[in-house]
Each structure stands twice: as structure tokens, then as C-alpha cells.
Chains A and B, each alone.
Chain A
Amino acid sequence: MKYVEEFRDPKLAENLAAVIRAEADSAREYNFMEFCGGHTHAIFRYGVQDLMPDNVHFVHGPGCPVCILPVRRLDDAIELADRHGVILCSYGDMLRVPGTKRRSLMVAKSEGADVRMVYSTLDALKIARENPDKQVVFLGIGFETTTPPSALAIKQASEEELENFTLFCNHVLTPAAIRHILDAPEIDPEEAVRLDGFLGPSHVSTVIGSQPYEFLADKYQKPVVIAGFEPLDVMQSVLMLIRQVNEGRVEVQNQYARVVTREGNERAQDLVDEIFEIRPAFEWRGLGSVPESALSIREKYAAFDAEKRFEISEKVSREVKSCECPAILRGVKKPKDCKLFGNVCTPETPMGSCMVSSEGSCAAYWTYRRAETLAEMAAERDLEPAQ
């Protein structure tokens, strides 16, 4: 923590901003996608965009773990709590995301379902031990960062022979999603977002290392800089990306070398590998079905798999009509392009997932740039010809 202040030093920030302004070629535009919601949050919280020249743009990617869980999986979780009468545990934000007909886990809880917010998978294990006559399901979500704790919980439950603990596994994989976004233009040219590079996630990379991004440089010719979460980390990473673009270099660089290595945390990877395997395909909110982009629990640990223990019904799941979360998560639209932003959809009454977690784009725009966004929306509406 002693590092924190030096990564927020205003003098250094000013100097970096000056170098970025000097080096960014005014004859071109730079579009960089920050995949991770943590970066989106940092960019907004510190007003990093204000220090960038006009031709450097941040495109917010699908890296918020709460935002990308599709409504169907959320409805399944609600069903587990409703129909199977389990104690359903999950991280806080997940409870507020609206499912079909805007019914969230929080609403289910207020109607009598036993839904509990926990801070870690170990809390869920504790609840299972304390309630031997009840089934406890942990709704596991998130990228490579939150997967090892879920793996550990299963391992521990198996060692203790806990018979009333299961994981509803929704853990997803970062590289597969980035690949999918880059393939999107081939799937639908209308959807093409011009991307000149990526700010690579840092927490994820502490686990998987920088190596899994190398295909982005090799195959897709996109520069990547693994970036820390402090505002100066983000700015320095932008500068590194600008330099790669200007010099025509395409590499995976590691700005966050104080924590991330090329190989990552091999012990965590081994643990994850022991418990989980790759699913053939997984549905993402916004991206649709993405091949090999998520994990499921291996047969050996099937006893701890909620999908195997409980029968989950087929159902028709629907997002709120006119919610633009899917397009926002693909980076093709901004929150201001959603009619619901700020009038019916706010963090108190979220209509879509992007408004729920502090890492979601809509919540970030609402929380940190509301004044400008509402003004832009009003201006655009005035410009529209009268019908």
C-alpha cells in the first residue's frame, strides 16, 4: 500500500499527460479497449479521460464480472433459491442485477428465498457447516481472479466431505472473450469497433500471467499492455500503447511488472486445473455464445456441482426491453445511447446489469460523468429532426 500515493501523484500525472499529448499523432485516432471493469472504474474515478488529448479514446469492454452474466444463468440461480429452497450465497452486487421481469435475487430474498451476501467462498463453506440440514449453493462468478477461491472451496468441501455444499459455476475466461470481440467484424460487419490496442487486465494477469495474451499480438496484430489499476498505471499504459502504434510495433508489454509475470501464479493455475475444465461454449451477456470461454466442474468433483445436483428447468429468459447493455458490453455503444439511462435506469433502480456494479459502464457514467452525459443526451435529442 505504500505505493498508492506515488501512483496518484499530480505532478507525475501532469508530466505524463504532457508526454502523451506530445506523442499522440494528431492526424489519427487511438481507440484502446480496457477489457477490465476495474480499469473502467479507475478511469472514471480519477477523471483520466480529462488528461487525454481528444483523439485518444477509451472503449469499455466486457470485463465486469457482474455485467456479463446472462439473464438465463441469473434466472437459474433465482430458481435454485425459489424452487429448491437452498441457501444461495453470492457476492453483493450480483444480488441486485435484474433478471427476467426485473426479478433479482434481492427481490427473491424479500419474498422469502434464503439468499445471503458473502464476502468470500469460505463464508459460504461456513454457512454450509452451520446448516447441515440445508443445501448451500455458492453462485460463483467472475474471471480468472475469482476462480481460484472457488476451486479452493470445492477442494476443501471435498476434503471435509461436506455433503450440502455445491458451486453454481459461472466462471469465465478473459482471452476467449477478447478473441470473440476481435472476430466480431467477421460475424457482423455492422458491429465492427475499431480497436488499436488493449489495456490488459491486471488482477486476472496476476493469476494467468501475460503469456495468454500473446495470440492478440501474433494472430490479430493488436498491441496489448497489461496495466495496473492506479491512475498513473493507466496513463503510462496508454503511453506505451501509443508508442507501439506510432512505431508500428505489436507486442504484449507488461506495465504492471511489479506484480504480473509472464507465467503468472502457477500454483493457482494448477488448483483451477484440478477442479475445473473448459466448457465447449458459454453464453455471455452482450457477446452471445462464446466458444471455450468458461469453466465447468470436472466429473471427479461432480458432487459439488449445483448444475448436476439440482434439476434446473428450461426457461425463456429476457432482458429489459430497450436496455442497451449487450451493445455496450461489446464496446459498440455508449450509455448515452440508451434511452433508459438516467430517467428510468439509475443505480437505485437498475434496468440492466451495466448499471449495477460500480465497474459497469452505465454506473460509471452515471456516478462520475452524469452532468456531461445528460447534457450530451439532451443535445443529441434536440438535434434529432422533429417527427
Chain B
Amino acid sequence: MTPASKARFRKGERVAMSHGGGGRAMADLIRNIFAHHFANPLLDQKHDATLIARPEGRIVISTDGHVISPLFFPGGDIGSLAVHGTLNDVAMGGGKPIALSAGFIIEEGFPLDDLDRIAASMGEAARAAGMPIATGDTKVVERGKGDGVFITTTGIGVVDDAVDIGPHRIKPGQAVVLSGPIGDHGVAIMASRQNLEFGTQITSDSAALHHMVADMLAAVPDIALLRDPTRGGLSATMNELVDGADFGLIMDEAAIPVRTEVASACELLGLDPLHIANEGKLVCICDMDKVQTLLDVMAQHDEGREARCIGEVCADQPGFVRMKTAIGGMRVVDWLSGEQLPRIC
């Protein structure tokens, strides 16, 4: 048997407290799983801290903790999600990704096989995104003190000096563009958590958006705002924008894409797709006359093929998100209060 094909860990082996103890077991775990899947020149510096050459422009940084059940779901897993989530936050700041750090908190007894799958999927997502995992950390907690695996990722990127993205640039008359159908991720998770069958499988939309964002910024450098409507869904993102602002937002329900399977699942569970999490969607606010240019650019990417203009920024009723309903009425779109729960009756 050549060393390369030697099994990296024993079949059925589980994470033990010694894997976090700083000794040989920990070194083996890092080498056999993380270094194996994440291999890249930055990580190979093998320092406690990684040196990165100074880029031009401004630095954007974002961090995110990933706590998710189940760890594997249709369309992804906690590993790829941890990469996409942070990468997208960097992209929403207008940043081109440079590098990622990853911290793992693993529960004693967690199967190494599953950890290997997660690390493999993370390594692949990071490679595909061109955002190497430059540094990391591993801790092991006693059985019962964690939920399998928690991953914290921090991403850094660089923003061109010409780009200025932020809520301060939003003004009445601008358009709101959404990159595709909402609710896929949240419903996929809920369905796999509750073991619900909906006839067709609903898969998470977890995806990296920075390539599309780069093209969008190249075509329309003066985009006012980018946000990814993750936890809390589209409604939370929109409400964050108007909170304390001197403008309001109006959406058109008929223009907001929702897949039929997702709409049906929401109907069944008494949930509102507007409140459901997404992991591969973005909201963009830009001048009205740039909408078509952006839609054309977005259509070149899988992640933006179903992009639409879903509303506009308004001067009246500042602080409120309103929606023209599918049947032509009007209503406020509020934050979700508490946790979204299936209805009783």
C-alpha cells in the first residue's frame, strides 16, 4: 500500500476529546482531514497566523457562525454553507474575496466520516470560489455540549475604491431587484428536519454569488446596495433597510418569484415565503434606468437567471415596507416576530 492511498482514519472512528488536546491526535486530525481537503499555498505557510500580500483598495471583512440541523440537507451541507454564507457577505460589501478562516467546534463522538465529508465540501466550495481557507482552528467539546459541529467562518475581500455600497446611497425612485425565487433554503431545511415529503424534492439554493456580483458591478458600478436575504428572509432584509430611514419600500407580490413547490409547502405549513431563509439570493438597489442592464448581466449566471425587479424605494410612509398583494390590495410587510411556526388550525 502506498502512503497516499493509506486510509486517513479508521472506519467508524469518532472524534475524541484527545482530538482537541493539542497532541498528536489533533495534529493527525488536522493533517488528515482539514489540511487534506483545504490544501492551498496560504494554508501551507503553517504559521499560527497567515500572511497575505497587501491588495489595492479597501478591505472588507465579515464573520458568521453556522449552527444548523440537519448538517446535511438537499442541496448542500454545513461545510459548503459556511463558505457560501461568508463569501456572500463579503460580496455584498462589493468585495472580491481574498481568503477565509474557519473555526470548528466539534462534539466528542462525532463520526470522522461525517467530518471528512463536511471538510471535503468546504474545501471544494472554497476552491470553486477562488477563496482559499487560509487559517483555522479546531476545538472539541464533551459529548452533549455541542450539536455535532459548529463552524465559524471569517472572510476577507478587497473593494475597489470606485465602489460605494451602503444604505446611505438609497433614495426614493430607485428600484429593488431580486436575483431569484425565495424560500428554497429554509423550506429544504424544514422539510428534511421534519421528514416532510412534498412529492418533489426541494433543494437549498446555497450558492456563491461573488462572480455574479463582480459582473454586476462591472456593468453598473454605482449600485447603491447589495444584501443577501438569509435568516429572516426577504422581509427581514427589507425591514432592516427602512428601519429608522427617511424612505419606505414598496414591493409587488406578483413580481416576487416563489417556486410552486415552495409555495405549496408554505401553504401547507402556514408559513410565509417572505420570512423564509435563503442562502444563494441577493437583493440589489439601483437607479431605475439601470435595472435592465443589471437583469441582462444577472441572466448570464445560473444564480441570477430568474432575477426580477420586485419593487421600488418610496418617499411616503418612511420606515415601512409595504406590498401590493397578489390580488391588488395593500399591506405592511413586517419582521417576523419570534419564530415562524406552522399554524394550529
Q: Which residues of A contact B (CB under 8 A)?
A: 1, 4, 8-10, 13-14, 17, 36-38, 44-51, 65-66, 91-94, 96, 117, 119, 141-143, 145-146, 203, 231-232, 235, 346-348, 357-359, 363, 366-371
Q: Is B268 an interface residue (CB 8 A)?
A: yes
How near does chain B come to A98, taking the closest CB pair, in angstroms? Answer: 14
Q: Is the CB of B327 within 8 A of A368?
A: no
The complex places the Cα of A1 from the Cα of B266 at a distance, in Å, of 11
Residue from the list A96, A232, A358 in contact with B343, Cβ < 8 A: A358
Q: Is the CB of B267 within 8 A of A1?
A: yes
The complex places the Cα of A192 from the Cα of B338 at a distance, in Å, of 36
Q: Which residues of B contact A (CB under 8 A)?
A: 194, 254, 260, 263-264, 267-268, 272, 317, 320, 322, 325-332, 334, 337-339, 341-345
The complex places the Cα of A348 from the Cα of B334 at a distance, in Å, of 12
Question: Interface majority SS on A: helix, strand, loop or mixed?
Answer: helix
Could you say which of B263, B337, B342, B345 has the most chain A C-beta atoms within 10 Å of its C-beta?
B345
Residue from the list A10, A46, A146, A371 in contact with B344, Cβ < 8 A: A146
Q: Is the CB of B320 within 8 A of A371?
A: yes
A-B contact pairs, 19 of them (CB 8 A): A8-B326, A10-B327, A14-B328, A36-B345, A44-B331, A50-B328, A50-B330, A51-B328, A91-B344, A92-B342, A93-B341, A119-B342, A143-B345, A146-B345, A231-B325, A366-B334, A368-B334, A371-B320, A371-B332
How near does chain A come to B246, taking the closest CB pair, in angstroms? Answer: 15
The complex places the Cα of A78 from the Cα of B284 at a distance, in Å, of 47
The complex places the Cα of A45 from the Cα of B253 at a distance, in Å, of 11
The complex places the Cα of A324 from the Cα of B142 at a distance, in Å, of 50
* Chain A residue at minimal CB-CB distance from B317: A371
The complex places the Cα of A164 from the Cα of B253 at a distance, in Å, of 48
**Residues of B with C-beta under 8 A to A38:** 343, 345
How near does chain B come to A238, taking the closest CB pair, in angstroms? Answer: 13
Q: Is the CB of B327 within 8 A of A66?
A: no
Q: Is the CB of A370 within 8 A of B334?
A: yes
**Residues of A with C-beta under 8 A to B322:** 371
Residue from the list B272, B330, B334, B344 in contact with A93, Cβ < 8 A: B344
Q: Is the CB of A10 within 8 A of B328?
A: yes
Residue from the list A48, A358, A370 in contact with B329, Cβ < 8 A: A48
How near does chain B come to A364, taking the closest CB pair, in angstroms? Answer: 10
The complex places the Cα of A145 from the Cα of B341 at a distance, in Å, of 18
* Chain A residue at minimal CB-CB distance from B263: A4
The complex places the Cα of A370 from the Cα of B248 at a distance, in Å, of 14
How near does chain A come to B310, taking the closest CB pair, in angstroms? Answer: 16
Residue from the list A9, A14, A47, A119 in contact with B330, Cβ < 8 A: A47
* Chain B residue at minimal CB-CB distance from A16: B327
How near does chain A come to B279, taking the closest CB pair, in angstroms? Answer: 24
The complex places the Cα of A359 from the Cα of B331 at a distance, in Å, of 15
Return the 5 tightest CB-CB contacts between A and B, nearest first.
A47-B329, A347-B337, A13-B327, A92-B341, A1-B264
Q: Contacts A46-B326, A47-B325, A50-B329 hold; do A348 and B345 have CB atoms under 8 A apart? A: no
